[in-house]
Amino acid sequence: MKILGLETIVFGVEDVASCAAFLTDYGLLPVDVTETGGRFEALDGTAVVLAHASDESLPASIGNGCMMRKTVMGVADQATVEAIKEELGKDREVLTLADGSIESTDDSGFGIGFQVTARKTLDLAGEISNVPGSPLQRPVNHRAIQVDKEQIRPRTLSHIVYFVPDPVKAEAFYVERLGFRCTDRFEGAGPFLQPGGTLDHHTHFLIGAPPFMHGVDHFTFHFGGPTEVMQNGARFVEKGHQPFWGPGRHIFGSNWFWYFNSPFSCLIEMDADMDLLDENSSPRVAQMGADTSQAFLMRYRDKWAPGKGTTAKGAYE
């Protein structure tokens, strides 16, 4: 299956205005947004879509307060859409929508959709470090930090993480029916899954959890590098949004991360610099825990500078 990755995540919310303000603060670009909802796009056009919870066109909620109604995946061509429709139609209802996309559910009850991708191809340099001895360096006289940049924007929709009652069953659906593969695994929790049309370490992570937790743990977009994660995250905090975990760097996937509370009954992450893997890589296995979930973790603090009557020793106590 030529599934490229996430195209949109659709939420049904009660307070469209506050959710719209949150996504705009995060860095997404509002497109055709009204009091009933709209799109919030990354630079490549992948997006979060908001609608009011009462919108009858939305797939049903799985319950537990989960606001995510559908995860739409982009595919390479219409032939792939038709192949997925034929495969899923063997044992479940598959709807064809007016825009040519299809809609169904996975084996955990989550709404899923598939469409020919509309994402734009990006030609933007990412963050490069000046490392002694490295053949790849920033150009001479290139200033790495732009403190006056009005808004840092995410580049593309990265991944989503589900809490699932039966991670073995959930994994089998994505691997056996849709052609995903496991790139790494937390033993006793679940797999990181990569679809066949991308090299990204994962677009889905499944975590086994009790039925009352059934829902979404978090979702995230890729940013242009760790500096954008740090800088945009700090601005997000300054706008009043509550950090949850990070900043830090994961081990599985290697991506830099910073998680925040969101109005979507789940977390939202900012990430950057995820591993790219092909079929020659082998999945690693580890027990989920603090030592395996991150290589290091930092703590945000207010900006500080040396000043009169201040010592370095006092500043760090």
Tens digit of pLDDT at every position of the chain (317 positions): 799 999 999 999 999 999 999 999 999 999 999 999 999 999 999 999 999 999 999 999 999 999 999 999 999 999 999 999 999 999 999 999 999 999 999 999 999 999 999 999 999 989 999 999 999 998 899 888 888 878 999 999 999 999 999 999 999 999 999 999 999 999 989 999 999 999 999 999 999 999 999 999 999 999 999 999 999 999 999 999 999 999 999 999 999 999 999 999 999 999 999 999 999 999 999 999 999 999 999 999 888 888 755 555 555 55
Per-position b or e across 42-53, b if 16+ CB within 10 A of its CB: bbbbbbbbbbee
Expressed in percent and rounded to 5, the helix, strand and coil fractions of the chain are: 20, 35, 45
State residue 3 phi and psi, 5-degree precision: -85, 125
pLDDT number for residue 33? 96
What is the 8-class DSSP label of residue 212?
G
Query: How far is the C-alpha of 170 from the C-alpha of 91, rounded, in Å?
Result: 15
- Strand stretches in 165-255, DSSP E: 181-187, 190-194, 204-208, 215-222, 243-249
Distance CA 218, CA 79 (A): 31
Single-letter amino acid code for the residue at 54: S
Per-residue pLDDT at 14: 97
Class of domain 3-120+154-297: alpha beta
| pLDDT value of residue 96 | 97
pTM recorded for the entire structure:
0.94
* Angle (nearest 5°) at CA 219 between 216 and 224: 175
